[in-house]
Amino acid sequence: MSDLLALQGVSAGYGDAVVISNIDLRLKPGESLAVLGRNGTGKTTLLNTIIGVTRHRSGTIVLDGQNLTSARPDKRAHAGIGWVPQERNIFKSLTVEENLTAVARPGPWNVNRAYEMFPRLRERRSNLGNQLSGGEQQMLAVARALVLNPKLLLLDEPTEGLAPIIIEELLAALTRIIRGEGMSAIVVEQHAQKILGVTDSALILDRGAIVHASSSRALIEDPAALEQHLGVTAKKKPARCRSLDHHASRTPHLEE
């Protein structure tokens, strides 16, 4: 099976600063990847590099056979990259429904299907973006990316700043989208235990370089790696992660 996404020797940053160095990774269609690491290790920069808003230094970025290394961000979006940034960037002066219909493209994900995934949004379809809670805005940001019908979904810290009950609701939706629907995705997350049960594989960044790469299940079961690279003590395996036992491991090829 051909790669959906391939990064080879990618280095990038902002201005004169190089933030990520010599990144190699490959993602097959239908695979999902968690990008983990402490604050300031280059996680967001990796996503920003894939969408084209950093200063490229070296290497190549190929999506579904199309070389996007020099492409503008809008060209990358048209090529099939959907992005959910930390800032959400919803249109706060538009209603929920207008946010969705304004960007929707033909494909299996339409506005009604987005409402089925996020019933809260259907209830608030006539509310303006600035009338939504933070969790509802995050749901809208994910739904808006979905109705673009992307080949690859990028999510940057989707649970950041949300109440625990909203985090659980959002993670359940992401599990359905990624595992149930087979959406290819890369999810940046600072808290490993929140996302490893959703993704097929994981990598850890430190100082802009990949220092660990494995299946998500292997990382869940490796307290030493969690402690060494993330400074966290492994907790009891969450119920959501048990689904991994019934899901074939599909690990992207990651090279350090």
Domain ranges within the chain, ordered by starting residue? 29-52+74-80+151-250
pLDDT at position 249, please? 44
* Weakest-pLDDT range from 59-68, 123-132, 149-158, 239-248: 239-248
pTM for the whole structure = 0.89
pLDDT at 244: 43
CATH superfamily of 29-52+74-80+151-250: P-loop containing nucleotide triphosphate hydrolases (3.40.50.300)
**Model confidence at 58, in pLDDT bands (50, 70, 90)?**
very high
Output the pLDDT for position 248.
Answer: 42
pLDDT digits (tens, 9 = 90+) for 72-100: 999 999 999 999 999 999 999 999 999 99
Tell me what the mean pLDDT of segment 8-36 comes to. Answer: 97
Question: Which pLDDT value is given to residue 47?
Answer: 98
Write the pLDDT tens digit of every residue in 169-184: 999 999 999 999 999 9
φ, ψ dihedrals at 173, nearest 5°: -65, -40
pLDDT at 9: 98
pLDDT, greater one: 12 or 240: 12
Percentage of the residues of the chain whose pLDDT score is greater than 70: 91
- The residue-averaged pLDDT of 193-216 equals 95
What average pLDDT does the chain have?
91
pLDDT at 143 exceeding the cut of 90: yes
Has residue 241 got a pLDDT over 70? no
Q: What is the pLDDT of residue 235?
A: 52
Q: For 6-10, 158-162, 227-231, which range has the lowest pLDDT when averaged over its residues? A: 227-231
